[in-house]
Amino acid sequence: MTDKDYGNLYWRLESSCPLRCVMCSSDHLIRTIKGYENTLLDQAKEIGFKTIVFTGGEPTLREGLPYLLRQAGLKGFMTRLDTNGVYLNGTQVALIKPYLTMLGLPLHGSTAEAHDLVVGKKGHFNAIKCIADSSTRRGLSLKITTAVTKENISDVKNIADYLNHSIHPEIYGVNALVKRNCNPQAYQKLKIEEEEFENLKEELLSQNYPFKLSFCFGHKDSDMAYIFVNPDFTISVTAGDSEHIIGDLKNERLEKILSKVKINHELHMRRFEETNI
């Protein structure tokens, strides 16, 4: 591990989103700017990033998404699309599949009732199952992620069992709520304690599921480890209870921007290894 190693670069293509998940902190208002896409990919490649994680808001809202995925693939990146799936169907999955290494989908409950309540959209649980089936049929790897809250922590083992029997992901990401990613009222109401998370982790690890498990609990697993490109091409890093904008790709090179802060490369690469196939 060197201080030059880079794994995942999270590119928020759009901040808007059709869902209103109970824990979401995004105001969905950052304006999308275009014109620096290839600059970003070229500079990320020069520095040595390995995976571009296309995220949001909701990244499928971005016009020309297949082109961006293709560009990233042609430049030698692995690619993951983290989407809530609202705008995806089988035809679109087939269209983007050649350019994707992995599709990331959320699942916050083991039943339609439990999951749909979290995302505020009836029928979303079933939609996720359809997209997952369609992806698996086409040989696309899946990462499913649960945001663990006070309200669903007792259901997470059921979600993992459901994934094991019905979805068959490559990776199951189990993430505790982090203050910086949550609206303040929801965080106070829904946050879980580290001990509860550790107990859950132990329980899941003891099940020997066929998929890889990835766990993320707050600051200790994320501070100075996640690097984001925002829809306006500002660059931010996760630190403490907020995210810090450290530069703007429209005016500076990515390497120079990242040299202004002390990225925790060991944690950054550990998170990369745990969340990639």
List contacts with ligand SF4 (CB under 6 A).
17, 19-21, 24, 26, 56-58, 84
Q: Per DSSP, what are the bridge partners of residue 243?
A: 238
Whole-number minimum distance, CB 75 to ligand SF4, in Å? 26
Whole-number minimum distance, CB 147 to ligand SF4, in Å? 7
Identify which of residues 26 and 158 has a Cβ nearer to ligand SF4 in the complex.
26
Identify which of residues 12 and 268 has a Cβ nearer to ligand SF4 in the complex.
12
Identify which of residues 96 and 182 has a Cβ nearer to ligand SF4 in the complex.
182
Show the DSSP H helices in 191-263 as ranges: 194-205, 218-222, 254-259
Whole-number minimum distance, CB 44 to ligand SF4, in Å? 23
Identify which of residues 26 and 92 has a Cβ nearer to ligand SF4 in the complex.
26
CB atoms within 10 A of CB 110: 21
Identify which of residues 16 and 136 has a Cβ nearer to ligand SF4 in the complex.
16
**169 CB-near residues (< 8 Å, 6+ apart):** 132, 141, 142, 143, 144, 163, 211
Identify which of residues 102 and 177 has a Cβ nearer to ligand SF4 in the complex.
177
- Listed residue (196, 182, 170) closest to 23, CA to CA: 182
DSSP strands (E only) in the chain? 8-12, 51-55, 78-82, 102-106, 141-148, 171-176, 212-216, 227-229, 234-239, 242-248
Whole-number minimum distance, CB 81 to ligand SF4, in Å? 13
| C-alpha span between 127 and 141 (Å, rounded) | 17
| C-alpha span between 250 and 136 (Å, rounded) | 38
Cβ proximity of 192 and 147 under 8 Å:
no
Identify which of residues 39 and 183 has a Cβ nearer to ligand SF4 in the complex.
183
Whole-number minimum distance, CB 57 to ligand SF4, in Å? 5
DSSP strands (E only) in 24-140? 51-55, 78-82, 102-106
Whole-number minimum distance, CB 144 to ligand SF4, in Å? 14
| C-alpha span between 235 and 256 (Å, rounded) | 11
Whole-number minimum distance, CB 95 to ligand SF4, in Å? 21
Q: SS3 for 243? A: strand
